[in-house]
Chains A and B, each alone.
Chain A
Amino acid sequence: MADGVATLAKPIEERDAIVIRFAGDSGDGMQVTGMQFTTGSALAGNDLATLPDFPAEIRAPAGTLAGVSAFQLNFSSLPVFTPGDDLDVLVAMNPAALKTNVEDLKAGGILIVDKESFHEQNLKKAGYDHNPLTDGSLARYQLFQIDVTKLTTAALQDLGLSARSVFRCRNFFCLGVTSWLYHRPIEPAEQWIRDKFRKTPELVEANVRALHAGYHFSENAELFAVSYSVKPAVIPPGRYRNITGNTATALGFVAAAHKAKRPLFLGSYPITPASDVLHELSTLKQFDVYTFQAEDEIAGVGAALGAAFGGAIAITTTSGPGMNLKAETIGLALAVELPLVITDIQRAGPSTGMPTKTEQADLLMAMYGRHGEAPVPVLAAATPADCFTMAYEAVRIAVKYMTPVILLSDGFLANGAEPWPIPDPDTLPDVPVTFRTDPGGFFPYVRDEESLSRPWVIPGTPGLEHRIGGLEKEYLTGNVSYAPTNHEQMMRVRARKVAGIVREIPPTEVFGPADGELLLVGWGGTYGSIRQATSQLQAAGHRVAHVHLRHLNPLPADLESILGRYRRVLVPEINLGQLVRLLRAEYLVDAIGFNKVQGRPFKVAEIVARCLKLLNGEHGEVPS
């Protein structure tokens, strides 16, 4: 690896899994550091999951608690489902980063700090009366104080860079330090630096030197007595990349439209945490991707619906506050029976809530949040990479059934990342789109016998001129009709059409025994923590299984019988109980909610603890 002076080889200890968090000021480059450490870990063959934690303010004053930015990575020789609960390692670049993150570090965990940043001014900004490095308050951790700034400066001394430029290379010094400590290759980071600073060779040199300096420092200095290795995980063969939920969502839409051989039209209004999908798609115009940044969310979804009328694969992306604004247009899409995918990347509500924090906030809104009875299929991605599959599936269902489809993601999935086995475009499911052109026997609302969907006829088709709209329509002709029995017939056929989508849902995967003591039922971004908790409980000998729903409306046909095979059903959700209500209402099952709404994902340990209580006979809360 690094061409250092030969030193006495230090002992190497093996670990199954490591959870590391890099935390610093938003200007300290912690996201880059974390991402580069992730790439190194992927190349080292580990399974992994990541989670960034951005400050809510764009440019909070340097050194303050509000300005702390962090990036967490869980890498392992075993399957990884979550970015990890408690930290094995914390890298804190300043007192504020220490203060906001140290509570998550395990007792005995490794704490690496930039010693020089713990000066009076920074301590004050972070609200420390005493220097925690010297007052003994960190005694329960393995504290490594490194003169990061001084060492970086020394390594770059002869480059003639400003103090500020040197300061900005500290993150790569830390990446070097941690890369040595965990046997990560540093070549990918070097390559990244060369690409990134291609136009300024002196910054390439500076950052590469800082990286090497950090690596050699930990190798040679007396500081670390041991280093740690994490063996490669057993991962199915294939080509992988690390992907965030938002990128996966964008790619899923592009792939589906490409497969359908239709243009993709996105109408959207910027909102956290959904904007990255707009950003991503805006760079993909060569795929016939039209992105329209609308004046508001109503215009975003309206424009998408107009594009759907014109024959495009139409999508809109937003988060909770924007979902409210789109409700009326979703109802219109349902009445005119045009395909449209509405993506809600949920965040903590109500109102503006906590924009950068995750929550499973909007399931009931997705199900019921429209006037009139307006059934809409609802899908939810389970993991960052699953966003690709579910975005693709949402498009497929929308065009097959001529219906709006709501796709739920959340802030945790949107920004979290995991390795994604890159699919072969040739093996992706077909997304057949046919526009009707035959005037023979044509009515705008003549229905396909199986799917009950109406024909998609686009303007420009000779002889099929017709009008659609939100007024109730006569069955078959689509003409405006207020006839009493016709209305009921239309209400029922719309409901039946959506219910019929159940035929698209594959058999439910049950992780664990086919019957037993306890079934955990989840949906959306809680997949990883529930799955990990379930396997821990199983390993401890409990008959516990996990079902994770990706189709929320309609629910899978086999779900009812699965629910009936366990003595208890527990529904962990990052809300105050939404799926649990649906299950209780739908199946008259005594499902119990396990709810946490703190803007954060569940810790595996929290779910395990709750399950153990239940297994020991304590019932716990029901939705109130």
Chain B
Amino acid sequence: MSAPGASEPKLGKKDFVSDQDVRWCPGCGDYAILSQVQKVLPELGIPRERFVFVSGIGCSSRFPYYVNTYGFHSIHGRAPAIATGLKASRPELSVWIVTGDGDALSIGGNHVIHLLRRNLDVNVLLFNNKIYGLTKGQYSPTSEVGKITKSTPIGSVDHPFDPIALALGAEASFVARSVDVETRHLQDIVRRAHEHRGTSFVEILQNCNVFNDGAFADVTEKATKADHTLVLEHGKPLVFGKDRDRGIRLRNFQPEVVQLGDGVTEADLLVHDETNPALAYLIARLGPPDFPTPIGVFTAVERPCYDAALGQQIASARAKNPPDLRALLNRGDTWTVS
């Protein structure tokens, strides 16, 4: 993407704040995410008019109204489809999809996996609050089994998706997780998502303080977070804990938590490698109750993008065979009546 002309004034966060009142519940995790994204956008070196935010329906999907760029608040689950048509025909735009766990993984699940498969050069920000916020608190496809909600008064019985594992299964080329309140981490991940060529899939753990408060308390509360979060860093061993004294080791192809010391050293631990999707899948399966929740970039690999490949086909068709409408209309067997 080309940088704005030197003469243009430098943009700041306020340039990405729209004139619309933000309507999320006070205390909602969506505010923090909005703020971090608004902070990162001006730093990406892209003219403001080239950004487009496309969303579906849900609390999270109100996001585009609050960002002063081009935006499209569409219909439930369909943002990936709309973004696909936009990006495929306008590859110079920076296209962002904002979606929720219901929007992306329930009604829009089909579009999400195909977006990832095609690897369009767009960014997906999935706000996972493990609940349907906008419709006032039904369980979602990421809610844990036994979830008690208005629609599951004696507990849900269906097994949830893990968004990261699902994205990896769909062969996403960039898969990451961050947390609404981890401001610096979230900014870094958003920046990296932008830099990646191909679909960047980012799950953001987001607190819905009204219908699912504390769903991620273990990774957000000061007291517990160090022991319950595994921060992934490329090339570094999988270490976590307040005292960074615990790690993840592989034994008999099964991951296990080990205490460092007593003969166990960092050399025994799994080392994170973003270029290895198989490892990413293994790490994606970690999480409560037996493991900490991994955050960071699970995988980042290069793969051809649909938009670039389609554009290439069109360019070479034009070069080989310049468009001639008259010839096209007169193609095949013709005859003249005089």
Residue contact B82 to A302, C-beta cutoff 8 Å: yes
B333 CB to nearest A CB, Å: 5
Residue contact A240 to B336, C-beta cutoff 8 Å: yes
Minimum CB distance partner of A263 in chain B = B89
Contact surface of B with A, Cβ cutoff 8 Å = 18, 20, 47-52, 54, 57, 64-65, 68-75, 78, 80-90, 92-93, 110-111, 114, 310, 313-314, 317-318, 320-323, 325-326, 328-338
Query: With contacts A292-B85, A459-B49 known, is A465 near B325, CB below 8 A?
Result: no
| A287 and B64 alpha carbons, distance in the complex (Å) | 33
CB contact list, A227-250 vs B, under 8 A: 235-242
| A299 and B338 alpha carbons, distance in the complex (Å) | 48
| A349 and B81 alpha carbons, distance in the complex (Å) | 27
Minimum CB distance partner of A233 in chain B = B337
A610 CB to nearest B CB, Å: 35
Bitwise interface map of A from 453 to 469 toward B, beta carbon under 8 Å scored 1, else 0: 00000111111111111
Q: Which of A241, A255, A267, A458 contacts B85 (CB 8 A)?
A: A267
| A313 and B237 alpha carbons, distance in the complex (Å) | 52
Minimum CB distance partner of A328 in chain B = B75
Residue contact A314 to B337, C-beta cutoff 8 Å: no
Minimum CB distance partner of A287 in chain B = B323
Residue contact A299 to B84, C-beta cutoff 8 Å: yes
Q: How large is the interface on A (under 10, 10 to 19, 20 to 34, 35 or more residues)?
A: 35 or more
Minimum CB distance partner of B326 in chain A = A425
Residue contact A254 to B328, C-beta cutoff 8 Å: yes
Cβ contacts under 8 Å, A300 to chain B? 81
| A466 and B51 alpha carbons, distance in the complex (Å) | 11
Residue contact A285 to B72, C-beta cutoff 8 Å: no
Cβ contacts under 8 Å, A423 to chain B? 329
| A286 and B57 alpha carbons, distance in the complex (Å) | 37
Residue contact B81 to A422, C-beta cutoff 8 Å: no
Cβ contacts under 8 Å, B88 to chain A? 265, 290, 292, 303, 307
Cβ contacts under 8 Å, B310 to chain A? 290, 292
Q: Which of A42, A267, A311, A467 contacts B18 (CB 8 A)?
A: A467
The answer to the question of A556 belonging to the interface, with a C-beta cut-off of 8 Å to chain B, is no
Bitwise interface map of A from 284 to 328 toward B, beta carbon under 8 Å scored 1, else 0: 111111101011101111111111111110100000000000001
B134 CB to nearest A CB, Å: 12
Cβ contacts under 8 Å, A251 to chain B? 328-329
Residue contact B337 to A298, C-beta cutoff 8 Å: no
| A299 and B49 alpha carbons, distance in the complex (Å) | 25
The answer to the question of A607 belonging to the interface, with a C-beta cut-off of 8 Å to chain B, is no
Task: Name the residue among A311, A459, A460 with the largest chain B CB count within 10 angstroms.
Answer: A459
| A58 and B336 alpha carbons, distance in the complex (Å) | 37
Query: With contacts A240-B337, A467-B64 known, is A295 near B110, CB below 8 A?
Result: yes
| A239 and B78 alpha carbons, distance in the complex (Å) | 46
Residue contact B75 to A329, C-beta cutoff 8 Å: yes
Residue contact B334 to A307, C-beta cutoff 8 Å: no
Query: With contacts A290-B88, A310-B90 known, is A239 near B335, CB below 8 A?
Result: yes
B284 CB to nearest A CB, Å: 23
The answer to the question of A364 belonging to the interface, with a C-beta cut-off of 8 Å to chain B, is no
Residue contact B334 to A290, C-beta cutoff 8 Å: no
Query: With contacts A267-B85, A425-B329, A463-B49 known, is A240 near B68, CB below 8 A?
Result: no
| A242 and B332 alpha carbons, distance in the complex (Å) | 9
Cβ contacts under 8 Å, A194 to chain B? none
Q: How many A-B residue pairs have CB under 8 A?
A: 204
The answer to the question of A61 belonging to the interface, with a C-beta cut-off of 8 Å to chain B, is no
A sample of 17 more A-B contacts (CB under 8 A), given A242-B333, A285-B314, A299-B81, is: A45-B337, A235-B337, A237-B336, A239-B334, A254-B328, A285-B317, A292-B88, A295-B110, A298-B78, A307-B89, A328-B78, A332-B75, A465-B49, A467-B72, A469-B64, A469-B74, A480-B20
10 closest cross-chain pairs (CB), A and B? A302-B81, A469-B73, A303-B85, A306-B85, A467-B71, A285-B317, A306-B82, A306-B86, A307-B85, A459-B70
The answer to the question of A188 belonging to the interface, with a C-beta cut-off of 8 Å to chain B, is yes
Cβ contacts under 8 Å, B329 to chain A? 251, 255, 422-423, 425
Residue contact B89 to A310, C-beta cutoff 8 Å: yes
| A332 and B74 alpha carbons, distance in the complex (Å) | 7
| A236 and B90 alpha carbons, distance in the complex (Å) | 44
CB contact list, A253-297 vs B, under 8 A: 254-255, 258, 263, 265, 267, 284-290, 292, 294-296
The answer to the question of A479 belonging to the interface, with a C-beta cut-off of 8 Å to chain B, is yes
Cβ contacts under 8 Å, B321 to chain A? 286
Minimum CB distance partner of B53 in chain A = A467
Query: With contacts A284-B328, A332-B74 known, is A42 near B333, CB below 8 A?
Result: yes
Residue contact B325 to A467, C-beta cutoff 8 Å: no
CB contact list, A406-461 vs B, under 8 A: 422-425, 458-461
16 contacts between A and B (CB under 8 A): A241-B330, A286-B320, A287-B328, A290-B310, A302-B84, A303-B84, A305-B82, A306-B54, A306-B87, A312-B85, A328-B75, A459-B70, A460-B50, A465-B48, A469-B71, A480-B20
Query: With contacts A286-B320, A459-B49, A465-B48 known, is A309 near B82, CB below 8 A?
Result: yes
Cβ contacts under 8 Å, A328 to chain B? 75, 78
| A461 and B336 alpha carbons, distance in the complex (Å) | 48
The answer to the question of A149 belonging to the interface, with a C-beta cut-off of 8 Å to chain B, is no
B195 CB to nearest A CB, Å: 21
Task: Name the residue among A332, A464, A465 with the largest chain B CB count within 10 angstroms.
Answer: A465
| A235 and B57 alpha carbons, distance in the complex (Å) | 57
The answer to the question of A341 belonging to the interface, with a C-beta cut-off of 8 Å to chain B, is no
The answer to the question of A405 belonging to the interface, with a C-beta cut-off of 8 Å to chain B, is no
The answer to the question of A98 belonging to the interface, with a C-beta cut-off of 8 Å to chain B, is no
Cβ contacts under 8 Å, A284 to chain B? 328
The answer to the question of A378 belonging to the interface, with a C-beta cut-off of 8 Å to chain B, is no
